[in-house]
Structure 1
């Protein structure tokens, strides 16, 4: 009995000593886990690639979040169904965003990603008093008129490994209708209206959030004196944000969390 008791004490003592050594050396799984830093040990590769910028004759903006995501678009654009969407959106403002797959980089530089890609195609078009609104008009000429903005979104799933589009899901068309006011831009469900307008130098323009999700106004105000970076911060439903534009120039802006859905706009300061 005494020998068994002494043996038990020896076993317990061995566990205590071993555990103490492990804790002091910090090689316990819990110790190593608390030292793990996701952003230090695995980083998200983000190299935005602008594939096409809008022009006066073709209001299409195409970008990819990284090189692998760009492959998704290169595959998708060969699909007949995608081509039909693009042909049917002629004359509208198109935003094409290759947003998947995400690419992760380990500390040794190895890049990993899934084989599933995603491309978001967004078509936006606006009308004032029932007529297509395609170029910037002065706020004073828009005051009191009926504005309407429409948006159609398609989500394209791509199998990169098999080099093919596996599905296309179209979302319900979004429609926003407002009575336009001087120096006011309305923010709807991922839509700015009017998306282009002309304001006089020295005037203040106000952005009003009419949706139930937060938006912001981020962009570059370009004048003869130089460039100014503008960031409104987020404003929520029924909130607004205002900025005064003192010099002639242009202000191209977007909502940072809805840019893939084409939520962007332009002010011309005259």
Structure 2
């Protein structure tokens, strides 16, 4: 009888300890987005998928599929020279996006919110999440002709 009480207590403690540690959508490493709803999802510290391939003129939709706040912020030196900078919050460059996040969480993409950008210039676009950059939350969009 004591063993059952012990196991029940341990199981409850483990469950409580893990609560909130997973993304809202359990992906098991797979892509939480497909189709029209979104193309790239987000868990606690990853864009899913982290590399996405499209053609010129296509629009990519990111969706925050986790419970954490995120940003989608292009690296100034990680996009083609003729390409438009993109970031949640509509900032003109990486420094402005960082400053806004640090001041008032500007560019915040809350749970279930989406952000979209249309890619008009071929090349590779590198981007990241400001609050999770140290956790290496970054991604790439590869745009072909």
Q: TM-score range by the shorter chain?
A: 0.5 to 0.7
1:42-98 CA-partner distances (Å, limit 9, x unpaired): xxxxxxxxxxxxxxxxxxxxxxxxxxxxxxxxxxxxxxxxxxxxxxxxxxxxxxxxx
Q: Structure 1 stretches of 5 or more lacking a match?
A: 1-146, 150-176
- Aligned pair partner of 2:117 in 230, 240, 243: 243
The structure with more strand, counted as a fraction of residues: 1
The residue number in structure 2 matching 1:194 is 49
8 Å CA contact 2:82–2:121 kept in 1: the answer is no
1:225-253 CA-partner distances (Å, limit 9, x unpaired): 53533221211001110010012111100
The structure number with the bigger radius of gyration is 1
The residue number in structure 1 matching 2:34 is 181
The residue number in structure 1 matching 2:86 is 230
Q: Structure 2 stretches of 5 or more lacking a match?
A: 1-26, 89-106
> Structure 2 length as normaliser, TM-score?
0.59
Matching of residue 262 in structure 1 with residue 141 in structure 2: no
Pairwise mapping of residues 46-195 of structure 1 onto structure 2 (< 5 A)? 148-149=28-29, 177-182=30-35, 184-195=39-50
Q: Deviation of residue 190 (structure 1)?
A: 1.2
Q: CA RMSD in A?
A: 2.0
> Structure 1 length as normaliser, TM-score?
0.33
Query: What is the number of residues matched between the two proteins?
Result: 96
